[in-house]
Amino acid sequence: MIINKNTKLIGNKVILVPYQKQHVPKYHQWMQSEELQSLTGSIPLTLEQEYDMQQSWQIDEDKLTFIVLHKESFEATDDEVASMIGDTNLFILSSDNKKVAEPEIMIAEQSAQGKGCGYEAMMIMMWYGIEKLEIKQFTAKIGQENEASIKMFKKLGFVQTKVTEVFKEVTMELNIDENIASNLKEKLKGLEIKQYE
């Protein structure tokens, strides 16, 4: 999505930056993992297809993506690729004139898993969706075996609304009201928004 191409979001643990060409080889390497393919419902792509995907994500109006950097690592090295730990996405949907988005988070680097990085990255992405895209509802689809993600989305306030046995996934939803939006802002009060160059 073009809206975020010059946006850098800096939290306490993570930094979100637009998905750029230099990020593709490491992202491609992650996605060779059968475990990550299973958890994200992805199919393996060639490196050339991954570059094409990165280009399309940059301009598609219904997809928003950020690469997640480990803040401490980036501040020590000033190297985005070395500091990459995952990505976060919003797929923009429409439902009865309500702006709905499907959020996704992947922390691919094992060293960064279970440390709250995915939780913070998802909060930042949700805030961005509410503030910049006027999202009114988030609908997450998560594999039934992905207990860590289900637990994280519950912590974010999502409620399970459906189980689809055929796809072995649960649907979790969060309707945004002023209370939820202000609580999210409060949790992210140290968030910095900078120009990405």
96 confidence band (pLDDT: 50, 70, 90): low
Domain coverage including residue 186: 2-190
The pLDDT of residue 179 is 95
Alpha-carbon distance 31 to 25, whole Å? Answer: 10
Three-state secondary structure call for residue 150: helix
Q: Considering its fold, how many domains does the chain have in total?
A: 1
Q: Please give the mean pLDDT across all residues of the chain.
A: 93
Among candidate residues 125, 140, 148, the one with its CA nearest the CA of residue 174? 140
Q: Specify the higher pLDDT residue, 41 or 195.
A: 195
pLDDT band (50, 70, 90) for residue 149: very high
- Specify the CATH number for the domain of residue 130: 3.40.630.30
Query: How many helices (H) and strands (E) in the chain?
Result: 8, 9
Asked, for residue 34, whether it belongs to a domain, the answer is yes
Of residues 27, 196, 188, 193, the one with CA closest to residue 106: 27
Only one residue has tokens 């050339």, namely 48
Whole-angstrom Cα distance, residue 35 to residue 39?
Answer: 6
In a domain, residue 195? The reply is no
31 in a structural domain: yes
